[in-house]
Amino acid sequence: MRHVSRIKFMVFAVAVVATAIVAGCTNAPLRTEASTSGIRAAEEAGASKVPQASLHLQLAREELAQARALSEKGEKEEASSMLLRAEADAELALVLSHEDAERTEANAAVARVRELRKNNP
Amino acid sequence: MKTKHFLIVATLAAVFAGCATMPPNELVNARQAYQTASEGRAAELAPAELHKAQEALKLAEESFAKDSDSTKTKDLSYVAQRKAELAGAVGAMNADTSRKDRAGAAFQDKQAEIVQQGKQDLRDSENQTADARAELDKQAALKEAKDKSDAEFQRQQAETARQAKQDLIDSEQRTADARAELARIGAVKEEERGLVVTLSGGVFFRSADSTLLPTAQVKLDQVAKALLAVRERNIIVEGHTDSQGALSYNQGLSQRRADTVRDYLIRRGYPADRIQAHGMGEGNPIANNTSPEGRANNRRVEIVIER
């Protein structure tokens, strides 16, 4: 009997904490800073000019918009989860932009040294 | 109690049923992306990003284990896939960076080599130019020396010719002077063999003697003085006798007298190698030996100055 009382007490306590957490989450504003700054960084890196990077930049924008929509509907947890997608795509778009630029520079450097050797055997 | 057991069995069934559930496409893609990244250059060139991808995949797997088909599982899987792709991209970017750096280093090495080669070519060119200039200078010096030598040779030739001409003039003058001088001492005549000066034997020697008389020495001094002006000429001293006495005696006497005159002239400075003495005996008379006057003329000394 004493054992059952203890279980009831623990279930009650968990319910109180969970309610508090859910209440906190539902009241907290959606934190889009990481996503928006990631998207801006990718745009400034020229992601829109690199096909693969452009795709992920677009996905990030759409996912950010979806996150905001979910947040407005009160689906905060789904909104936060969607924001993670937006951040991941924005970050990938940025790296792909840099990678494309680096590949272009490397190819140019190789071509330059090849040309130099060709002209000066 | 039965109810409790049922709940346990139902829970386990639900767990097993969950485990047996097919993973969502997002998780399948994440696993595949991570495998691709870990087998590629990311393992070597982007280990930090690959580790983050691994952690993200782990979260997705844990979420899948808890709630296989939840939105959260899909989102975490989606993020894990992007993290894996990002690791691959960073690996590729770092590889490109290395490639660019190597190409840059190779470019600089080649440029340095070109510069070095250029400097070497310049040095070689300068050396060749210097060699060519030295050769030109050498040729110019040789030409100048040759021209100078030719000019000197021509000048010397001209000088030699002028000197020879002058010597000839001088020689002719000395010959003329000597001839005039000799003409005052004795009879002078031009013959085929040269200029012949005839000195009377009676003035030079006693009868049957080859010793010079004192008056003869005065005469011979004058002769010697005239001859020394033409010392480059070969001369022959010939002794002649009259026909009195034995032939062999006269031959010996004429030779001794010729020798006496020759020796005297040598002592006065005439070159010994240019003067000969011949005893002609009585064989070349210039007058009749029957009269005392004729024999006196035949006793004579002739000095032949060769041409």
| CATH number of domain containing B260 | 3.30.1330.60
Examine the domain organization and report whether A43 and A26 are in the same domain.
Answer: no
Residues of chain A contacting B78 with CB distance shorter than 8 Å: 85, 88
Show Cβ contacts of residue B177 under 8 Å, excluding neighbours closer than 6 positions: B226, B229
Q: Of B110, B139, B167, which marks where a domain is finished?
A: B167
B85 touches chain A (CB under 8 A): yes
Examine the domain organization and report whether B98 and B37 are in the same domain.
Answer: yes
A61 touches chain B (CB under 8 A): no
Examine the domain organization and report whether B193 and B154 are in the same domain.
Answer: no
Does the pLDDT at position B240 exceed 70? yes
Examine the domain organization and report whether B82 and B224 are in the same domain.
Answer: no
Does the pLDDT at position A12 exceed 60? no
Examine the domain organization and report whether A1 and A19 are in the same domain.
Answer: yes
Q: What is the pLDDT of residue A24?
A: 47
Token pair in block for residue B132: 């060519």
B296 touches chain A (CB under 8 A): no
Mean pLDDT over the full length of chain B: 88
Examine the domain organization and report whether A24 and A68 are in the same domain.
Answer: no
Examine the domain organization and report whether A24 and A59 are in the same domain.
Answer: no
Cβ B82–A102 below 8 Å, yes or no?
no
Examine the domain organization and report whether B140 and B222 are in the same domain.
Answer: no
Nearest CA in chain B to A90: B82
Task: Evaluate whether residue B202 is within a structural domain.
Answer: yes
Q: Of B138, B167, B196, which marks where a domain is finished?
A: B167
Examine the domain organization and report whether B127 and B242 are in the same domain.
Answer: no
Q: What are phi and psi of A31, to 5 degrees?
A: -90, 95
The number of folded domains in chain B is 2
A75 touches chain B (CB under 8 A): no
Does the pLDDT at position B306 exceed 70? yes
Q: What is the pLDDT of residue B86?
A: 97
Q: What are phi and psi of A27, to 5 degrees?
A: -90, -25
Examine the domain organization and report whether A20 and A66 are in the same domain.
Answer: no
Examine the domain organization and report whether A62 and A113 are in the same domain.
Answer: yes
Task: Evaluate whether residue B116 is within a structural domain.
Answer: yes
Examine the domain organization and report whether A96 and A65 are in the same domain.
Answer: yes
Examine the domain organization and report whether B13 and B129 are in the same domain.
Answer: yes
Examine the domain organization and report whether A10 and A50 are in the same domain.
Answer: no
Residues of chain A contacting B114 with CB distance shorter than 8 Å: 116, 120
Q: Which of A104-118, B16-30, B220-234 has the lowest average pLDDT? A: B16-30
Nearest CA in chain A to B92: A99
Examine the domain organization and report whether A69 and A112 are in the same domain.
Answer: yes
d(CA A85, CA A61): 10
Domain containing residue B239:
186-306
Examine the domain organization and report whether B160 and B64 are in the same domain.
Answer: yes
B267 touches chain A (CB under 8 A): no
Residues of chain A contacting B97 with CB distance shorter than 8 Å: 102, 106
Q: What is the pLDDT of residue B7?
A: 37
Examine the domain organization and report whether B72 and B142 are in the same domain.
Answer: yes
How distant is the Cα of B101 from the closest Cα of chain A, in angstroms? 8
The partner residue sitting opposite A103, judged by closest CB among B79, B96, B103, is B96
**Looking at this predicted complex, what is its ipTM?**
0.77
- What is the percent of chain B with per-residue pLDDT over 90, rounded to a whole number? 62
Task: Evaluate whether residue B180 is within a structural domain.
Answer: no
Q: What is the pLDDT of residue A27?
A: 59
A69 touches chain B (CB under 8 A): no
Cβ A99–B104 below 8 Å, yes or no?
no
Examine the domain organization and report whether A39 and A19 are in the same domain.
Answer: no
CA proximity to B242, closest of B252, B231, B250, B233: B250
Examine the domain organization and report whether B1 and B100 are in the same domain.
Answer: yes
Q: Is A66 exposed, middle or buried (0-12, 13-18, 19+ CB in 10 A)?
A: middle
* In the block, residue with structure tokens 């003869």: B216
Domain containing residue A82:
32-119
The number of folded domains in chain A is 2
Q: Of B117, B137, B167, which marks where a domain is finished?
A: B167
pLDDT digits (tens, 9 = 90+) for B205-231: 877 888 888 888 888 898 899 889 888
Task: Evaluate whether residue B271 is within a structural domain.
Answer: yes
Q: What is the pLDDT of residue B23?
A: 94
Examine the domain organization and report whether A25 and A38 are in the same domain.
Answer: no
Q: What is the pLDDT of residue A36?
A: 97
The partner residue sitting opposite A81, judged by closest CB among B72, B92, B111, is B72
Examine the domain organization and report whether B127 and B243 are in the same domain.
Answer: no
d(CA B278, CA B287): 20
Examine the domain organization and report whether B226 and B143 are in the same domain.
Answer: no
The full 3-state SS of B213-255, as one line of letters, equals CHHHHHHHHHHHHHHHCCCCCCEEEEEECCCCCCHHHHHHHHH
Examine the domain organization and report whether B110 and B198 are in the same domain.
Answer: no
